[in-house]
Amino acid sequence: MVFSKLLCNAQDGLQAKRERRKEARPGELLDAALTLFVDKGFAATRVEEVAKLAGVSKGTLFLYFSSKEELFKAVVRANISGRFAEWNEELENFEGSTADMLRYALTTWWERLGSTQASGIIKLMMSEAHNFPDLATFYQQEVMQPGNQLIQRILQRGMDRGEFRAINMKYGVYIVLTPMLFLAMWKHSMGAYSPESTRLVPEEYLATQIDIILRGLCLGDAPTPLSST
């Protein structure tokens, strides 16, 4: 942030670099905002902090986003863009068993979203949904719905192919959804405060969850729960 002052008697190369930074600004601001919003919540995050973290001045932030609220919306929008197209396509062409497909879907989700900053969006939406109802609705439509459909398609495939037993689709979707949402939330909140001994390793957690879910879903000699009184 101080360095820019030093570039006055500039050669062309530096000029170019500055140009590039200029174009990168909005993205840097969105990253900074995401980080802070996730960490401290919308209200408790000061725009000046966001600007500082992005290496610009407070005024500059308002050059790109007309208000703090717009910044928030932009953060959400920027982090939900059509990753589903790609994901859908991959899964459309998936050839293996549906169990593997589910395993692959969740693992991929973790690698591409869950483990990145983007997962913070989930925490953010959960925390701030009531304060931004329009965003919450938007998020439902743009993220939850496509995601749910993707999960639903997997489950349907399993049932259609006789791999999974028939279950209520609505709750089936939630069952697959739950570990993802939990992981994203936990990572950005209480997770940091759990004692070392119980601290969760995401990949292991996910693997265990998938295992349980698949045991619960798959046909074969599925055990009936021991009693039902």
Three-state secondary-structure class, residue 67? coil
For residues 28 to 47, the per-residue mask of contacts with DNA, x marking binding by CB under 7 A and - elsewhere, is -----------------xxx
Separation of alpha carbons 120 and 115, rounded Å: 9
For residues 110 to 139, the per-residue mask of contacts with DNA, x marking binding by CB under 7 A and - elsewhere, is ------------------------------
Asked if 223 touches DNA (CB under 7 A), the answer is: no
Of residues 13 and 225, the one with the C-beta less far from a copy of itself:
225
Separation of alpha carbons 148 and 154, rounded Å: 10
Separation of alpha carbons 71 and 74, rounded Å: 5
Separation of alpha carbons 57 and 29, rounded Å: 11
For DNA, the binding residues in 52-71 under the rule CB under 7 A are: 56-60, 62-63, 66-69
DSSP-assigned letter for residue 115:
T
Asked if 41 touches a copy of itself (CB under 8 A), the answer is: yes
Q: C-beta of 114: minimal distance to a copy of itself in Å?
A: 14
Span of 8-16, 84-92, 128-136, 165-173 interacting with DNA by CB under 7 A:
8-16
Q: What are the phi and psi torsion angles at 199 (to 5°)?
A: -70, 135
Rg from Cα positions in the chain: 22
**Interacting partner of 126 out of a copy of itself, DNA, none (Cβ under 5 to 8 A depending on kind):** a copy of itself
Residues 6+ apart with CB under 8 A from 72: 33, 37, 42, 128, 132, 135
Q: C-beta of 49: minimal distance to DNA in Å?
A: 8
Judge contact between 110 and 71, C-beta under 8 A. no
Count of residues that bind a copy of itself according to CB under 8 A = 76
For residue 216, give both structure tokens. 């619960």
For residue 208, give both structure tokens. 């265990």
DSSP-assigned letter for residue 62:
H
**Interacting partner of 204 out of DNA, a copy of itself, none (Cβ under 5 to 8 A depending on kind):** a copy of itself
For a copy of itself, the binding residues in 137-176 under the rule CB under 8 A are: 137, 139-140, 144-145, 148, 163, 167-168, 170-175
Asked if 178 touches a copy of itself (CB under 8 A), the answer is: yes
Interacting residues toward DNA by CB under 7 A: 1, 4, 14-19, 21-22, 25, 45-48, 56-60, 62-63, 66-69
